Amino acid sequence: MVDPRSIHEDPRVLPARPDLAAKYLEHRVKAARYVEGTRRSVVAPQAPVRSEPRPDGHLDTEVLKGEIVTVYDTNDEGWSWGQLQSDNYVGWLPTQALSDLGPEATHRVAVARTLVFPAPSIKVPPLESLSFGCRLAIARIESQFAVTVANEFVPLRHLVDVHHQERDFVMVAERFIGAPYLWGGKTNFGLDCSALVQLSLSACLVTSWRDSDMQEQSFIPKIEPAADHSNLKRGDLIFWDGHVAIVRDGSTLIHANGHHMAVAIEPIADAVARNRAAGLEISSVRRLEGLARKDQ
């Protein structure tokens, strides 16, 4: 569903600066030098991807534990500049959140949030909390726990095989209802509208671009909504300038939004009217066939 040809020159997904660029871009962009990059794994539960290498830099997106990042530059202040394998996003990450590649992930977190314990007991203090989509290398199963290669214990019922394919991405999005809105966020602690779409589709093994304008360009077909929105179907994506929402049924949608400051369900008509009052009209509706099969 993603057509890289229409977006691949976007600076958000192009690892190129005047002083340095990825080696594979040598014949496409001009830079002082080109480097191969080093593939590294995210070991922190989550980490920011910022536009500048400083703690108050703009939050562009986040990476989750188990994601792969190709690092092209590292500075002395503890920041690494690289490209995410999952959606090609480029930015600065805390170097301490990264490590050498370890065993390949076998499972991923399938609930909004889970806990990691140092022993096979829910009565001991947890080591960390993991968000939906985090990826883990599981060595063995012990009763109700999956045991990681680092000998840490995660509730087995909170994980699925990395190749498990959800049948309804709308139902996945509903797991985040009530999560706070955070521009650039990608976890149950806070996420934005396009992250909700990206995370939900990822559970169906569908790759999506990170930002709503990129998603709008890449998903087809385009549907002309009726004046009363009666032709909208579950799983349709409604786009406005800078925003995307997921249709749940003929009358409601779900989206992460700044009005509710949360992931919320609301009537389609209310969202359309509120955006229209702010000067925003629907820019397009995209239909994702076969990804919202609640009845199966």
Question: β-pairing, 34-35 with 21-22?
Answer: parallel
What does DSSP assign to residue 269?
A: H
> Residue 22: beta bridge partners?
35
Residues contacting residue 226 through CB under 8 Å, at least 6 positions apart: 232
Residue-wise pLDDT tens digits, 54-94: 999 999 999 999 999 999 999 999 999 999 999 999 999 99
Do residues 231 and 291 touch, judged by C-beta distance below 8 A?
no
What's the confidence (pLDDT) of residue 6? 57
**% of the chain surpassing 70 pLDDT:** 97
Query: pTM (2 decimals)?
Result: 0.94
